[in-house]
Amino acid sequence: MTNPLTATKPTRIRFGILALIFGNVIINYMDRSNISVAASAISKDLQLTPVQLGLIFSAFGWTYAALQIPGGILVDRIKPRLLYALCLISWSLVTLLQGVLKGFGMLFSLRLATGAFEAPSFPINNRVVTSWFPDNERASAIATYTSGQFIGLAFLTPVLTTIEHFLKWRGLFIITGLIGIIWGIVWYFFYRDPMDHARVNKEELDHIEQGGGVINRSATKGKEAKTTFKWTNLKEVFIHRKLWGIYIGQFCATSTMWFFLTWFPTYLVKYRGMDFLKSGFLASFPFLAAFAGVLLSGFLSDYLIKKGVSVNVARKTPIIVGLILSISIVGANYVDNAALIILFMTIAFFGNGLAAISWVFVSTLAPKHLIGLTGGVFNFIGNLSSVVVPLVIGFLVTGGNFAPALFFVGTLACIGACSYIFLVGKVQRIEVKEKSANYL
């Protein structure tokens, strides 16, 4: 029996890894949202119609969504250290090139390329957290790195607006692209998987694995067993009702997100008549609220698990409540005061933050050997909203009235809440028969 006085304490390397993922997410969303900050200037410079602007906004989502399943397959086969570095540097280089482009067609093509290179990023995040964190810390970990998209945008939106104001929209893309390239190099030099990390001790590995973390101890140092892709694996991640529950829920939750990432600044400036620099400041409030929401959701969910509350209540409640709160975005249609408009947007995005720990369901429900693939399908269906929402809004606001667009976003949030209530069912991992499984 180990003497507690002489036992070695587990290292805490996993929290340093979480900080790296947090940085990745900030860069990720900075390069998704810079187009919304620059949209008014680009639209004027390139003489874009609302439908063309909607096409530009949605271009990222076409390739991002389409490549989620192939990206998930790659995540199960290529180590995060290499795959994430390649993705970061590639999408950042493409972002930089957007600053020297000429014309609608080139901008559209480069936004397609940005989506393609970002496609594996969130499945990689989920794989890393599933490897580095036990079950009772995972929602907090997911909330922490997911908060990067909100806190980054909350503080970066005014900064990006200021950069665009002084250096114009081309300078904005060049600077954000350079930042991402540098960060991609940082990731490659500092990230390692649990079994490859020189500073992690046995006690931390035991803490992770005994708590449900998926560590591949069978792999030798620096090497990893590869998962062979089978078409039966693809079928497996589409045949379960509970997985469809989270797929549909994710589509609806990310619909609210994509409104804020694309049309929100244009809504404030063009359709509500707010000053450009002032709108950059006001736009930070909903992102700060979403940041608070995702952290509250993740830490509360893990706290409830540790207190013995059922996993169904602890995991589902924050997401369902969040999606219901997101419906409040419709309230902005009935007020003209800038403060009240921002208030409704802030409540809606706070709710979206509460719902943003949905990746915990991929870690919890997916078959162990298909976590990457399940994450790819989850993010594929979820991010179809990045194609649908900007385009639909572009058509809905063609007549100059933005109210139908907000009704559209609010309705999707309601559908998402119903999906988690009626489709997900009991929260437990899907077990696949041994003969059809191909474990890592």
pLDDT digits (tens, 9 = 90+) for 94-138: 999 988 877 788 889 999 999 999 988 988 998 898 888 888 888
pLDDT at 438 exceeding the cut of 50: no
Tens digits of residue pLDDT in 212-232? 666 665 544 445 445 555 777
- pLDDT over 70, % of the chain: 90
Q: Where are the domains of the chain?
A: 14-201+226-436
Return phi, psi of residue 301, to 5°: -60, -45
- Distance CA(424)–CA(360), nearest Å, equals 13
Measured over the CA atoms of residue 259, residue 260, residue 265 and residue 268, the dihedral's sign is: positive
Measured over the CA atoms of residue 424, residue 425, residue 431 and residue 436, the dihedral's sign is: negative
Cβ neighbours for 435, distance < 8 A, ≥ 6 positions apart: none
Region of residue 3 (left: phi > 0; alpha: psi -120 to 50; beta: else) = beta
- Distance CA(296)–CA(419), nearest Å, equals 22
Closest to 379 in 3D by CA, of 131, 123, 115, 143: 123
What residue type is 349 in one-letter code? F
Binned at pLDDT 50, 70 and 90, residue 249 comes out as very high
**HSE, side-chain direction, 13 A CA sphere, residue 219:** 18
Q: Is 193 strand, coil or helix? A: coil
**CA geometry: angle 370, 374, 378, nearest 5 deg:** 170
What residue type is 79 in one-letter code? K
**Domain spanning 14-201+226-436 has what CATH number?**
1.20.1250.20
- The string of DSSP letters for 255-279 reads HHHHHHHHTHHHIIIIIT---HHHH
Do 114 and 31 form a contact (C-beta atoms < 8 A)? yes
pLDDT at 402 exceeding the cut of 60: yes
CB burial string 183-208: b at 16+ within 10 A, e below: bbeebeeebbbbbbbeebeeebbebb
C-alpha distance across the termini of the chain, in Å: 32
Report the chain's mean pLDDT, rounded to a whole number: 84
Closest to 329 in 3D by CA, of 432, 246, 388, 259: 259
The whole-number pLDDT of residue 277 equals 58
Q: Indicate yes or no: pTM above 0.85.
A: no
Residue for token pair 């900064």:
159
- Distance CA(25)–CA(371), nearest Å, equals 20
Do 379 and 357 form a contact (C-beta atoms < 8 A)? no
Cβ neighbours for 79, distance < 8 A, ≥ 6 positions apart: 193, 224
The whole-number pLDDT of residue 422 equals 93
Could you tell me the CA-to-CA distances from 7 to 1, 4, 202, 203, 212 in Å, in that order?
10, 5, 11, 9, 22
Q: What is the DSSP letter of 335?
A: -
The whole-number pLDDT of residue 252 equals 95
CB burial string 256-272: b at 16+ within 10 A, e below: bbbbbbbbbbbbbbbeb
- Distance CA(170)–CA(353), nearest Å, equals 31
Region of residue 222 (left: phi > 0; alpha: psi -120 to 50; beta: else) = left
- Distance CA(363)–CA(85), nearest Å, equals 23
The whole-number pLDDT of residue 433 equals 64
- Distance CA(114)–CA(92), nearest Å, equals 8
- Distance CA(276)–CA(279), nearest Å, equals 5
- Distance CA(280)–CA(286), nearest Å, equals 11
Give the pair of three-digit tokens for residue 158.
Answer: 């005014």
Q: What is the distance of C-alpha 288 from the center of its chain?
A: 16
Tens digits of residue pLDDT in 339-392? 899 999 999 999 999 998 887 888 788 787 777 788 878 888 988 888 889 889
Tens digits of residue pLDDT in 156-213? 777 787 888 788 888 888 999 999 999 999 999 999 988 888 888 888 888 888 876 6
